[in-house]
Structure 1
Amino acid sequence: MTDFTVEERAARPWVGVSTTGELAHWGRVNAHVPTIYAALAEAGGIPLGGPIYQYRRLRTATEPMDLTVSVPVSACMEIGDGFETGEIPAGRYLVARPEGGPDILDRVHAEMWTWAGEHGLDLAIDERADGIHWHARTEQFLTDPESEPDRSKWAIEVTYLLR
């Protein structure tokens, strides 16, 4: 079982690319990561950590989902055409920091939903006909895959904004 905490967080600025992707073709989503880091470097920006996947709309894991692939920065900044800037909102978050890389994320998310329900926490979501719309749901990779090639040792931070 994964350990969970509830944390109060400040807004987190980011630069990135919004896209629609599906797990079966996740390489297309991941292809944005080096492009964002390169554009950020060219614009003189400094990344404040690993990439953050911000999930905005999801129906099922097998269907396309709307998300933003982003990189945290100290302040919102423009880095060129095709890139966006914004903030992950401030607020109370349910947080997990498991090790195991992307292979464990399905289990972690299921455990988080269960744990939130058991502890009376209300996830900040809107359920609509086209799926669940998240106010803020993120996965940030804390381990650099170039320095640790073993995916089972990758640390990830998973967060859900609470109402």
Structure 2
Amino acid sequence: MITEPKLENRNEQHYVAIRTQVTMQELDTAIQQLCREVLAWIAHQGIVPTGAPFLRNLVIDMKALLDIEVGIPTVSVESTNDRVRAGVLPAGLYASLVYTGWDSGIEANAALLDWGAKQSLVWDAWETEQGRAFGARLMSFLTDPNEEQDQAKWETEVAIRLADPHPR
């Protein structure tokens, strides 16, 4: 199931994450491993998450490598290390939808991109030599797999920031 897309203004969001590059075939394993690692790091630091874990797509080349971060929203973090880094998701207007079922991610992303094209939305995105880069393109994992083990019931939000209509 995929919900109707919506537009919403969001405030900036601090987070901690691990950045890596993976192929599409490695993505699921990387998400699981890195999410566990970031959660363990924040628990060790005594930091309480302020939202659901997420995958941030920085640069996408579906046939080669994805440059990603796996992160956890937090309050502002002062001290990190070489592996776990602090970041900020930018404020702005985001288009989003929620889908059910772990295996529906590609279909849901395509649905949001198609909807955006029909609405003449302009994404905060640009082309690079490594692929398409995004200012903020996220998949937030709304279901805790420790509470719901059936992946067919997992809910995930896809959100993409729109380009600023009035750049500075």
> TM-score, normalization: structure 2?
0.90
Measured in 2, the distance between the counterparts of 1:124 and 1:138 equals 12
CA contact (8 A) 2:52 2:142 kept: yes
Measured in 2, the distance between the counterparts of 1:81 and 1:129 equals 26
Aligned-pair CA distance for 1:2 = 3.6
Q: What is the one-letter code of the residue matched to 1:32?
A: L
Q: What is the one-letter code of the residue matched to 1:56?
A: L
Aligned-pair CA distance for 1:34 = 1.2
Match of 1:128 in 2: 128
Q: What is the one-letter code of the residue matched to 2:153?
A: K
Q: What is the one-letter code of the residue matched to 1:8?
A: N
Does the alignment pair 1:158 with 2:164?
A: no
Measured in 1, the distance between the counterparts of 2:105 and 2:150 equals 16
CA offsets per residue over residues 5-35 of structure 1, 9 Å max, x none?
0000000110011101122123134211111
Match of 1:45 in 2: 47
- Write out aligned runs for 1:1-150 (5 A): 2-26=3-27, 27-60=29-62, 62-101=63-102, 103-150=103-150
- Flag structure 2 segments of 5+ consecutive residues without an equivalent: 164-168
Secondary structure of 2:51's counterpart equals: coil
CA offsets per residue over residues 110-151 of structure 1, 9 Å max, x none?
111111011111111001232101111000100001110111
Measured in 1, the distance between the counterparts of 2:153 and 2:78 equals 32
Q: What is the one-letter code of the residue matched to 1:52?
A: F
Measured in 2, the distance between the counterparts of 1:64 and 1:34 equals 22
CA contact (8 A) 2:31 2:55 kept: no
- Flag structure 1 segments of 5+ consecutive residues without an equivalent: none
CA contact (8 A) 1:94 1:161 kept: yes
Runs of 4+ in 1 over 4 A off after TM superposition: none
> TM-score, normalization: structure 1?
0.92
Secondary structure of 2:42's counterpart equals: helix
Aligned-pair CA distance for 1:108 = 0.8
Q: What is the one-letter code of the residue matched to 1:118?
A: K
Measured in 2, the distance between the counterparts of 1:36 and 1:28 equals 12
Secondary structure of 2:21's counterpart equals: strand
What is the aligned residue count? 161
Q: What is the one-letter code of the residue matched to 2:89?
A: I
